[in-house]
Structure 1
Amino acid sequence: MADYEIFELGDIVLQSKQTIRGARLAYKTYGTLNAAKDNVIVYPCWYSGTHLENEWLIGPGKALDPDRYFIIVPNMFGNGLSSSPSNTPAPFNGPRFPKVTAYDNVVQQHRLVTEVFGIKRIKLVTGWSMGALQTFHWGAIFPDMVERILPFQGSAKCSRHNFVFLEGVKAALQADAAFADGFYAEQPQKGLRAAARVYAGWGFSQTFYRVEADLKQMGYASLEDFLVGFWEGWLLEKDANNLLAMLWTWQNGDISANDLYGGDLKKALGAIKAKAFVMPASTDLYFPPEDSAIEVEHMPNAELRTVETYWGHFAGGPGTSPEDIKVLDAALKELLAS
């Protein structure tokens, strides 16, 4: 039995001028929507993650407390639960799956929030990594609906440096002969393992490896044990075409790439009315604090809250660094109480 719901979206035309026919948005809710419908938190997923990989931040006594709030976790297109290359019928399956932007994701999430639940105001939107990208989109696209945002370890627009990193992941995955231009009979395991090792040099910081946190704090026996067990183990569970679909979404992430803002990033950032804590990690190699500082400079109601850590990008999730989670949870509580 699935532990999530499906919102049947019908045929949706995307920014790419392609159509997902019979589109499906998978989601899970936690807690109870109150009578006033004013206790709502939207918590989008990250690259390859599902609602299950978001649950580490939800629980009694935590900021995202289901005893107090109604928490909606929408699954991103391409993650294998919502419409994805792996679950879409031919001819739009596999590498023929339409190109989906973060804007497309958030517009359909807005339909879920309004059409299914009749919600008009959102107390908080928060998310890690690609979840942060969607969080920024919520603030920019629906500025009168969203009261607070806390994007952590993510950006409002994919930087050129971040784009290049993702080209390395993509090239490693596609170099496997078994990938067969996306028309593979079985998952390209060599390509998935290679892509995981590209990721491994970026997900954690130089200091993380220097102090051997993989051994001393995560319990791996050796560096190779960590590379295989943590990194390869993560990507081998995924579908290659799904990963590439979400990678395209990531690379083309930009809150200003729509008719509202016409590519003017400063205008889009300036339109975010929500009270915002923007929380980069001090050693994040994907989303460095310098990038977040530039974004915050153009947001009228935002505060930069850099997390001092050597856990790099994984300071934010998925529940890997206990001390950094405490910092994040405290900031979420502070923002929700404000």
Structure 2
Amino acid sequence: KFFIVLPDGIGHGKSSKPSDGLRAKFPRYGYRDMVDAQYRLLTDGLGVNHARLVMGTSMGGMHTWLWGETHPDFMDALMPLASLPTQISGRNRAWRRIIIDAIRNDPGWSGGEYKTQPPSLRTAAEMLWFMSSNPLLRQKEAPTLAKTDEVLDKFVADIVKADDANDVLYALEASRDYDPAPDLEKIRAPLLAINSADDLINPPELRILEREIKRVPHGRALVIPLSEKTRGHGSHTIAALWKDELVRLLTESAK
């Protein structure tokens, strides 16, 4: 009766991306383009005209907010994780800009026509390591100077081996058109937004989620407390932290 669709967004995974061959000639895309492509995949490609649930994590969480606004009658429920329903700003914008500027100002980037990955991809990886977990976890896995260097070097090496500078650049620049705030009242389906208290990218201290969720007609928000199980921004991948809330959302939104 039900099936799960897990699409690779434009610029990611097996979907079309700069590293497939076009490099810097690849068309610029934004989050709204990505949501539109997902909608067309479901409706035109798979013949799906209604979803039981739309959910996503991090960038996918931001897409979920946009889904609820642009196609308010398409789904029975929405569950964005590790995201905020406002334009990217402050520290969240700054870490992206640091990576974007590092790549664009890198002579080795060569306007996107490099033969080998430019050194700035290492900067991108280092920034991702810095932002993607919580301080307690990082201190536990890197308790000394030498261990920190070892852990960081391995993380960076893995990223450089698997990723591409143009792909990273395009993916980060794609967030420039993200701003669901003006249309939050258009969301009709029950929505449960879940963040974690130790998320450096979406810190609860800003109280943005608490403020904006009041504008969503059937919206509810939950912040998972810091614990040994949370992983900062990466807490969204630990299903044990939020699965009970998902069951509750599906039960309450059943038709």
Provide TM-score, normalisation by structure 1. 0.67
Q: Does 1:72 align with 2:1?
A: no
Which structure shows the higher strand fraction? 1
Corresponding pairs, count: 244
1:269 is aligned to 184
Letter in structure 1 aligned against 2:83:
G
Offset, 1:80:
4.9
Task: Write the distance in 2 (CA, Å) between the matches of 1:234 and 1:285.
Answer: 20
Shift of the 337–230 alpha-carbon distance from structure 1 to 2, 3 Å rule, reads: farther
1:336 is aligned to 250
What is the identity percentage for the equivalent residue pairs of Structure 1 and Structure 2?
A: 26
Letter in structure 2 aligned against 1:156:
P
Letter in structure 1 aligned against 2:149:
E
2:86 is aligned to 157
1:294 is aligned to 211
Offset, 1:175:
4.3
Shift of the 253–232 alpha-carbon distance from structure 1 to 2, 3 Å rule, reads: farther
Q: 2:198 aligns with which of 275, 283, 287?
A: 283
Q: Secondary structure at the match of 1:222?
A: helix
Root-mean-square deviation over aligned CA pairs: 2.0
2:154 is aligned to 229
Q: 1:202 aligns with which of 128, 131, 141?
A: 131
Task: Write the distance in 2 (CA, Å) between the matches of 1:275 and 1:333.
Answer: 13
Letter in structure 2 aligned against 1:125:
V
Offset, 1:311:
2.2
Q: Secondary structure at the match of 2:223?
A: coil
Q: 2:165 aligns with which of 221, 240, 251?
A: 240
Q: Give runs of aligned pairs for residues 105-254 of structure 1, distance below 5 A.
A: 105-161=34-90, 162-188=92-118, 190-210=119-139, 212=140, 214=141, 222-254=147-179
Gaps of 5+ in 1: 1-33, 40-69, 256-264, 318-323
Which structure shows the higher helix fraction? 2
Partner deviation per Cα, 1:191-242 (whole Å, 9 max, x = no partner)? 11121112222112233334x1x259xxxx9222221223441343111111
Partner deviation per Cα, 1:157-206 (whole Å, 9 max, x = no partner)? 34211112200122233444321121111222x21112111222211223
Letter in structure 2 aligned against 1:160:
S
1:307 is aligned to 224
Offset, 1:141:
0.5
1:17 is aligned to none
Letter in structure 2 aligned against 1:132:
G
Q: Is the 8 A contact 2:88 2:175 kept in 1?
A: no
Task: Write the distance in 2 (CA, Å) between the matches of 1:157 and 1:240.
Answer: 27
Task: Write the distance in 1 (CA, Å) between the matches of 2:76 and 2:56.
Answer: 15
1:100 is aligned to 29
Gaps of 5+ in 2: none
Q: Is the 8 A contact 1:286 1:313 kept in 2?
A: yes
Shift of the 303–215 alpha-carbon distance from structure 1 to 2, 3 Å rule, reads: same
Task: Write the distance in 2 (CA, Å) between the matches of 1:143 and 1:156.
Answer: 15
Q: Is the 8 A contact 2:79 2:191 kept in 1?
A: yes
Name the stretch that deviates more: 241-250 or 152-161.
152-161
Shift of the 235–301 alpha-carbon distance from structure 1 to 2, 3 Å rule, reads: farther
Provide TM-score, normalisation by structure 2. 0.88
Q: Secondary structure at the match of 2:191?
A: strand
Shift of the 151–235 alpha-carbon distance from structure 1 to 2, 3 Å rule, reads: farther
1:46 is aligned to none
Partner deviation per Cα, 1:233-273 (whole Å, 9 max, x = no partner)? 13431111111111111233223xxxxxxxxx24x111111
Task: Write the distance in 2 (CA, Å) between the matches of 1:101 and 1:333.
Answer: 32
